[in-house]
Amino acid sequence: MTALHPLFLIFFLYMAFVICALCVYWLTDCSLSGQLGAPTAVRQPVRVRNHSLSTASTNQARRLSREQNSVSGHTSMASGNPFFDDMRSKPEVIDPPKNEDMMDVGESVNDPAQTALKPNVTVTSSVRELLECPVCLNAMYPPIHQCSNGHTLCSGCKPRVHNRCPTCRHELGNIRCLALEKVAASLELPCKYQSFGCIGIYPYYSKLKHESQCVYRPYNCPYAGSECTVIGDIPYLVAHLKDDHKVDMHNGSTFNHRYVKSNPHEVENATWMLTVFSCFGQYFCLHFEAFQLGMAPVYIAFLRFMGDDNEAKSYSYSLEVGGNGRKMIWQGVPRSIRDSHRKVRDSFDGLIIQRNMALFFSGGDRKELKLRVTGRIWKEQ
């Protein structure tokens, strides 16, 4: 046994040397792997549904890259930790979503067809929807009110809803949506009469004023016998009056009409006669009707110009009515059909004849109205 003791000591020293060598090799390998960093996962191309999502997907890819670089930078500090070693050996790979509609980010960004103005149009359309009052459906102008939940309402409709939000029924209070007002101030929109020929683009807060004066805005039907809601340009309205209302059409600048009513004591605020005259390349509407002026029944005749007021002022007209050696003459300027029939009538801008005088002009036993109205139209120099 004493002879084997030196051999056992030599064997023990040899094994200790081998173990130390292995430890040095393992530590060296760990240091090198820490400097080289963790193996990078192979990233699949991120896919998006359309061009509007490409920017978000690119940001996501950049964020993943920063996170992987951050992990790689910290592995050298924790090279001896089994947790970090396991992360390096098993990198997480994010599988892209499966969808036939998707395309690569690179394709979306580099495709010129995808960089059209469609996103801007969508944003403008959505903002215009936000500026639409949920009650009257008209565009909202300052002050724009909102409830505590952010639902907006125009100032004109606020009293109509009794200070309650029409969307959530919360109390409105006096909160203004200043952010939406500022967004509206940055918009430029086309005139709503674009389909009638207006090609102008106007700031949001100037658009309403322009549309109230736009030369392309359509005209209302001048027929006063019913609440006609037809609108259009002059040629369209002339055809509408002729075909739908069966209005008499005359050519020339002079007229001679006779109005007859069997029971003149029945006054019902109704138009008796509308006649359209074509002269000087323009159209004029001659109205004759009965209505109540206070307690007195009267008749009125007046002329309206089928066009704007600035053009109407270029013309004048005269009306004459009489009988039994008496005569009444009226001279004036035709009113534009921009002014409603009722507005012109209630302003008494025409030839007004009291019923007793009209019956005197009619002659006979005064039981039947027989009035002859003559007149002419001329253009001022």
Apex 258 CA angle, 256 and 260, nearest 5: 170
Please report whether residue 180 resides in a domain.
Answer: yes
Residue 296 structural domain: 219-379
38, two tokens: 């963790």
Provide the pLDDT for residue 364: 66
pLDDT of residue 30: 58
Least confident of 115-129, 260-274, 276-290, 304-318: 115-129
Q: What per-residue confidence (pLDDT) applies to 4?
A: 52
* Residue 302 reports pLDDT greater than 50: yes
Q: How many residues does the chain have?
A: 381
When divided into structural domains, the chain yields a total of 2
- Cis before residue 143, ω within 30 degrees of 0? yes
pLDDT for 14: 76
Domain boundary among 171, 191, 213: 213
Q: What is the mean pLDDT of residues 148-159?
A: 87
Q: Check whether residue 131 and residue 223 sit in a common domain.
A: no
Asked whether residue 187 falls in the same domain as residue 226, the answer is no
Q: Over range 83-88, report the average pLDDT.
A: 41
Distance of CA 328 to the CA centre of its chain: 52
Full-model pTM: 0.57
- The pLDDT of residue 266: 60
320/174 same-domain check: no
User: 193 and 256: one domain?
Assistant: no
User: Rounded to an integer, what distance in angstroms lies between the CA atom of residue 252 and that of residue 280?
Assistant: 8
In this predicted structure, the answer to whether residue 249 has a pLDDT above a threshold of 60 is yes
Q: How confident is the model at residue 61 (pLDDT cuts 50, 70, 90)?
A: very low
Q: What mean pLDDT comes out for the span 22-38? A: 59
Task: Looking at the structure, tell me whether residues 234 and 373 fall in a common domain.
Answer: yes
Q: Are residues 249 and 288 in the same domain?
A: yes
Residues 231 and 296 in one domain: yes
Q: Provide mean pLDDT across the span 19-27.
A: 74
Q: Same domain for 199 and 227?
A: no
Mean pLDDT of 301-308: 95
State pLDDT tens for residues 184-227.
Answer: 888 888 888 988 889 988 888 888 889 888 989 999 999 976 67
Same domain, 253 and 354: yes
Question: pLDDT band for position 155 (50/70/90)?
Answer: confident
Is 60 exceeded by the pLDDT of residue 107?
A: no
Higher pLDDT, 262 or 4: 262
The confidence score (pLDDT) of residue 156 equals 86
* Domain co-membership, 175 together with 242: no
Per the prediction, the chain carries an average pLDDT of 74
The last residue of a domain, from among 181, 213, 245: 213
Q: What are phi and psi of 374, to 5 degrees?
A: -115, 165
How many whole angstroms separate alpha carbon 61 and alpha carbon 94? 11
Residues 126 and 161 in one domain: yes
